Amino acid sequence: MIASNRPGEFASRSKQANAMEDIGSNASPGETIGDIIGRRFNRRDVLRGALTATALASLPGYTLLNSDEVLAQAAAKSAFNFKDVPAGSEENHAVADGHDVDILIRWGDPVLPGAPAFDPMKQTAAAQRLQFGYNNDFLGYLPMPGAANGSKHGLLCVNHEYTNEELMFPGMGGPQQIRKNAFSKMTKELAEVEMAAHGGAVIEVKRDADEWSVVQGSRYARRIDANTPMDITGPAAGDTRMKTRADPAGKKVLGMVNNCAGGMTPWGTWLTCEENFNGVFWGAADGHPDSAKLRRYGVPSNQYNWGVYFDRFDVAREPNELNRFGWIVEIDPLDPAATPKKRTALGRFKHEGAAGVTSKDGRYVLYSGDDERFDYVYKFVTEGRVEPANRAGNMNLLDTGTLFVARYNSDGTGEWLPLVHGQGPLTVANGFASQADVVIDARMAADKLGATKMDRPEDVEVSPWSGKVYVMLTNNTGRRAEQVDAANPRAANKFGHIIEMSPEAGDHASTKFSWEILVRCGDMSDPKVGATFNPATTKDGWFGMPDNLAFDSQGRLWVATDGMSQKSAGRNDGLFAVETEGPLRGTSMGFFRVPNGAEMCGPCFTPDDETLFLAVQHPGEGDEAADEGSFENPATRWPDFKPDMPPRPSIVVVTRKGGGKIA
């Protein structure tokens, strides 16, 4: 995928998210996580089961178990009870034996009353605003208040991340053809459909007998898109850099875009993260009053042509609009009339994840990654404390507190560095006139503090049992060999790794932590890859490109991947169960495989662990080099498999045959 910076050039939407995440705009001199891991990695990792069978076999005095012994050990001690789904690349999904999969809702299905039947040949923005949006990503489940069984009746909060024109609209051609067309077939009407397909949805879901369904006509049902009115709150609200011609006060904005991962708060609100917001902005950075800052955020990226038709998405015609995107948005799913709020205290960057936990003294701590190569891991600690019995009293907790960025030390310790105006280098002399500047330019503030440059931090979540924090580092193909020393992780890191962090004294409000590598991902059979799964992992169980993650109520880790689904690789993305404790620590097992071209997103369990909701995103994308992946010629027609129906991003429901807990 070619990232374009001029309106005359067009990059295909296929693999769009990875292209926009891989800009790699951080030129600061800080240390990378690769530099630090190289000094950190030692024989202790071997003793904890972190190395591959190939690497272990080469160590003096180490006796490698045979495959039968390894599998027997895994069967006896594993926290999971299923067999790996065979790795492969097929038009349909696959799930571990003993489980059923049902389609809950698809792109274009009705959400609000009056929604017309989905007609892919006659799409309109008016229809899409009432229908389920495109590319469902994060899923958050809120048990229905007052329900007899909250694990069988609740609200599902869904992010709609981005749109694929080549798969959505007829006549666009494949990815390579679209590049040549340079948006010539993307009319204003189709751009408005895309804007309506972004954002998110709230749907009421219920399980009757053994079947889940969407409750039609629910008073909680909601669609949020790129034109939904929202409030801007926190330190950037009303700042000069947030003011536009349409909003001279700088406190209101229309819509949210490119919403990727997210979280649910203890007071029952939905946090949804604007990630690759740079893609919706059009024009050129040259001549903009903040051109250097634009480049640090990869703006404009010209991945959509909305700026041709709407001034606010053209950086020349409305230079401040881009500052109003890239935030975490808080939404109350129990009140469809409540105005969503962009919480600027949490910082502006390509947010991936908004997982929170209550600290020992009652403050709320929220973790988030900045999903771009060589960018950072953040957390936010509220000033106020969570009031479990006072929902209304928690509604503005996220407007006041301290934003931190992580520095990882080579001795396995780490520090959270505060991004506070007036402290350290965050001064007027260095270009930060106020806390508004600090949060608007959070990346540059973190650069000044010397935070550790990471390999594309994606989702960040806290284990409900151990309290450890897990960071998905999906990959970094931009790491050069000269940036790595002999003892370090990989240059051109294609497969990513997972970091495990432990807050000092178990207190998430602490500014200190320790860290370890759980696994380095990739094909264990190839020594050049340097994967470090536990040897008990089978050929079907390894994965690359970790993205979303979830914990079930038993504290078991589940990892969703993004980047393996190319038919030429013969190994699609999926959901993997990963052991985090004991002798099987670092063992991975494949549980669910997505269809061709798709990405695995949004793993979400009901409180009783008897239902698993999964989001299957962009099914039908084709290999980059092939003229495949168009509306007329998709890599699959999942889930309908009808010749007149394109592939449709969908939410699936996984349950266990005969009932009981998943896996």
pLDDT grade, residue 50 (50/70/90)? very low
Report whether 578 contacts 587 (CB < 8 A): yes
Mean pLDDT across the chain: 89
Cα dihedral angle (426, 430, 435, 439), rounded to 10 degrees?
Answer: -90
Scan for tokens 């979303």, then name that residue.
Answer: 548
120's CB contacts (< 8 A; 6+ apart) are 108, 168, 170, 631, 644, 645, 646
**Main-chain dihedrals φ then ψ at residue 308, nearest 5 degrees:** -65, -35
CA 651, CA 158: separation in Å to the nearest integer?
9
pLDDT grade, residue 46 (50/70/90)? very low
pLDDT grade, residue 173 (50/70/90)? confident
**Three-state secondary-structure class, residue 286:** coil
CA 142, CA 394: separation in Å to the nearest integer?
17
Angstrom distances, CA of residue 158 to CA of 100, 134, 273, 532, 640: 22, 10, 11, 33, 21
Label residue 595 exposed, middle or buried (CB < 10 Å: 0-12, 13-18, 19+): buried
Q: Is 128's pLDDT higher than 50?
A: yes
How much is the CA Rg of the chain, to the nearest whole Å? 23
pLDDT grade, residue 513 (50/70/90)? very high
Q: Is 14's pLDDT higher than 70?
A: no
The stretch 167-184 carries a mean pLDDT of 80
> Global pTM?
0.91
Q: Tens of pLDDT along 589-608?
A: 999 999 999 999 999 999 99
Q: Dump the DSSP string for 453-519.
A: BEE-EEEEEE-TTT--EEEEE--BTT--GGGS-TTS--TTBSS-EEEEEEEGGG-TT-SEEEEEEEE
Q: Tens of pLDDT along 411-451?
A: 889 999 999 999 999 999 999 999 999 999 999 999 999 99
CATH of 16-656, one of 3.40.50.1100, 2.120.10.30, 1.10.10.10, 3.40.190.10: 2.120.10.30
Residue 63's pLDDT is what?
A: 34
The stretch 168-178 carries a mean pLDDT of 82
Q: Tens of pLDDT along 303-317?
A: 999 999 999 999 999
Residue 26's pLDDT is what?
A: 75
Angstrom distances, CA of residue 314 to CA of 280, 321, 480: 9, 9, 34
Helical residues (DSSP H) of 41-174, grouped into ranges: 43-47, 53-57, 67-77, 125-128, 165-168
CA 315, CA 306: separation in Å to the nearest integer?
11
> For the chain, percent helix, then strand, then coil, each to nearest 5?
20, 30, 55
Count Cα atoms within 13 angstroms, Cβ side, for 333: 30
Q: Is 272's pLDDT higher than 80?
A: yes
CA 252, CA 231: separation in Å to the nearest integer?
5
Q: Dump the DSSP string for 27-78.
A: ---PPBHHHHHHHH--HHHHHTT-S-HHHHHTSTTPPPPPHHHHHHHHHHH-
The stretch 612-634 carries a mean pLDDT of 86
Q: If you ran DSSP here, which 8-state letter would residue 452 be given?
A: P
Q: Which amino acid is located at 279 in the chain?
A: G
